[in-house]
Amino acid sequence: MSFFEHVPAVQYEGSQSDNPLAYRFYDRKKEVLGKTMEEHLRIAVCYWHTFVWPGADIFGQGAFKRPWQQPGDAMERAQQKADEAFAFFTKLGVPYYTFHDTDVAPEGTSLKHYIENFSRMTDYLARKQQDTGMKLLWGTANLFSHPRYAAGAATSPNPEVFAYAATQVCHALDATLKLGGDNYVLWGGREGYDTLLNTDLVRERDQFARFLNMVIEHKHRIGFKGALLIEPKPQEPTKHQYDYDVATVHGFLRQYGLQDEIRVNIEANHATLAGHSFHHEIATAFALGIFGSLDANRGDPQNGWDTDQFPNSVEEMTLALYEILRHGGFTTGGMNFDAKVRRQSVDAEDLFYGHVGAIDVLAVALERAAVLVENDRLEKFRQQRYAGWDTEFGRKILSGGYSLSTLATDALARGVNPQHVSGQQEQLENIVNRAIYAQR
């Protein structure tokens, strides 16, 4: 009997429903700006937090003890886990899921075992996808949990570790193609350093670039049409991770000429750990031309580690979705719930509460963002604010029509004396709140 047997499929019941296991806002076929909510949001459930994590934290043992986490034959448990995962996906009614290689298949005790197990399990997942209609938003490889990766994977001081990692990514990328995944994600969990004292930054960056080049070449060779995505994170478990934030990844890609091949998967909690708002990281990725996909979660503003909580702020998500809508929406990307229930939330229902609440938050935020975008008063204000740059004088500066000294001479001759005008931040914030709270 399924672990989720007693939980009915989650349905849209409208905002006045009292049912904690119903959607109040996520009506997947509802149209918003010409696409359905489902098409806009492209929601994915992740395998690792929801089916692999045992409810342990750094100070406590696993509290969950799911049936598939009990001792037993590893491959049988993996299939049981897949069965339960797809039962959950289906009851939740979302279109996508995501996984690491080692989430779905036992690593075994050698590369050979790993490859065999992973191949069998991805065949199994293919059948589950066919049976259920679920799709893969992205695949990835876990290059950080095993002790061999203690000092990094591509950036390990040991080239054999690099080779092991390359093997995993090769198979994970092949599997992502096999399963029709829309993207492949690289999260460099230990691509960074614990101390500068034992670290050669130049070598490690070069190794990492080589690794990425190999992945890019492989992607093209096997005909994978999805996007390659790097997921920025500033630190944890390492002291400092090379993919610190969107701007840092951008510099790295530019240095090695990879900016047209790799985009970013931005996680809300990683953004805030890096000292940025989620909105900032998304807007920056669009400005730099490397926006890819989102890990929809949240951190705790008072805690300094990756709490990976379910997103629950419509206010924050409205700004995220405003950026996405005004740039045309997701292409290959989507909203992956890289989020886990709290360790105290041990019940099967809690997994539903976490996802249902978060999905409703995204649905409300989507509708509010659509209001903002439809008659984009923010954009109109911006255009008016920068209008001077569209005059002849502004264009001449931007197109190189002045040198520093000719511009200085011109400014002096004209007695330039610009006055500051209001940036109207408070009014713009009110416009956003009006879109959120003054809904008809």
57 known member of a binding site: no
CB 378 within 8 A of CB 371: no
Considering beta carbons, is residue 140 or 156 the nearer one to a copy of itself?
A: 156
Whether 245 sits among the annotated catalytic residues: the reply is no
Q: Which of 2, 90, 312, 331 binds a copy of itself (CB under 8 A)?
A: 312
Q: Which of 59, 71, 130, 225 binds a copy of itself (CB under 8 A)?
A: 59
Considering beta carbons, is residue 38 or 194 the nearer one to a copy of itself?
A: 194
CB of 56 to a copy of itself, least distance (A): 8
Binding mask 146-175 for a copy of itself (x = CB under 8 A): xxxxxx----xxxxxxxxx-xx-xxx-x--
* Pick from 147, 139, 197, 194: nearest CA to 171: 139
Cα 154 to its chain centre, rounded Å, is 21
Work out whether 74 is an interface residue with a copy of itself (CB under 8 A). no
Considering beta carbons, is residue 34 or 60 the nearer one to a copy of itself?
A: 60
Work out whether 70 is an interface residue with a copy of itself (CB under 8 A). no
Residue type, 150: A
* Ramachandran angles phi, psi of 3, nearest 5°: -60, -25
Work out whether 24 is an interface residue with a copy of itself (CB under 8 A). yes
CB of 130 to a copy of itself, least distance (A): 27
338 known member of a binding site: yes
Binding mask 339-358 for a copy of itself (x = CB under 8 A): --xxxxxxx-xx--xx-xx-
DSSP assignment letter at 144:
S
Stretch that binds a copy of itself, among 77-85, 131-139, 283-291, 326-334 (CB under 8 A): 283-291
CB of 343 to a copy of itself, least distance (A): 6
CB of 105 to a copy of itself, least distance (A): 16
Write the CA distances from 99 to 47, 50, 66, 121, 267, integer angstroms.
5, 11, 18, 12, 16
Mode of pairing for the β-strands spanning 35-36 and 192-193: unpaired
Work out whether 292 is an interface residue with a copy of itself (CB under 8 A). no
Considering beta carbons, is residue 9 or 201 the nearer one to a copy of itself?
A: 201
CB of 256 to a copy of itself, least distance (A): 10
User: What residue spans of 95-200 are helical by DSSP H?
Assistant: 101-104, 111-132, 159-178
Q: Which of 69, 129, 248, 331 binds a copy of itself (CB under 8 A)?
A: 248
Cα 223 to its chain centre, rounded Å, is 23
Q: Which of 11, 90, 277, 331 binds a copy of itself (CB under 8 A)?
A: 277
Considering beta carbons, is residue 17 or 132 the nearer one to a copy of itself?
A: 17
Tell me the DSSP string of 243-283: T-SHHHHHHHHHHTT-TTTEEEEEEHHHHHHTT--HHHHHH
Work out whether 302 is an interface residue with a copy of itself (CB under 8 A). yes
CB 358 within 8 A of CB 67: no
Whether 100 sits among the annotated catalytic residues: the reply is yes
Instruction: Write out the binding residues for a copy of itself, residues 181-200 only, by CB under 8 A.
Output: 189-190, 194-200
- Please give the radius of gyration of the chain, using alpha carbons only, rounded to the nearest integer: 24
Sorted by sequence, the CB contacts under 8 Å of residue 20 that are 6+ apart come out as: 353, 356
Burial zone of 85 (CB within 10 Å; 0-12 exposed, 13-18 middle, 19+ buried): buried
CB 94 within 8 A of CB 41: no
Number of residues that bind a copy of itself (CB under 8 A): 164
Residue type, 362: L
Work out whether 47 is an interface residue with a copy of itself (CB under 8 A). no
Work out whether 221 is an interface residue with a copy of itself (CB under 8 A). yes
Q: How far apart are CA 332 and CA 329, in angstroms?
A: 10
CB of 126 to a copy of itself, least distance (A): 21
Catalytic residue among 40, 100, 280, 355: 100
Work out whether 412 is an interface residue with a copy of itself (CB under 8 A). yes
CB 242 within 8 A of CB 194: no
Catalytic residue among 49, 101, 103, 276: 103
Paired strand residues for 176: none
Considering beta carbons, is residue 295 or 306 the nearer one to a copy of itself?
A: 306
* Pick from 215, 266, 216: nearest CA to 244: 266
Considering beta carbons, is residue 76 or 206 the nearer one to a copy of itself?
A: 206
267 known member of a binding site: yes
Query: How many CA atoms does the CB half-sphere of 171 hold within 13 Å?
Result: 26
Sorted by sequence, the CB contacts under 8 Å of residue 400 that are 6+ apart come out as: none
Instruction: Write out the binding residues for a copy of itself, residues 87-146 only, by CB under 8 A.
Output: 110-112, 115, 144-146
231 known member of a binding site: yes
Considering beta carbons, is residue 34 or 112 the nearer one to a copy of itself?
A: 112
* Binding residue positions for Mg(2+): 231, 267, 270, 295, 306, 308, 338
The catalytic residues are 100, 103
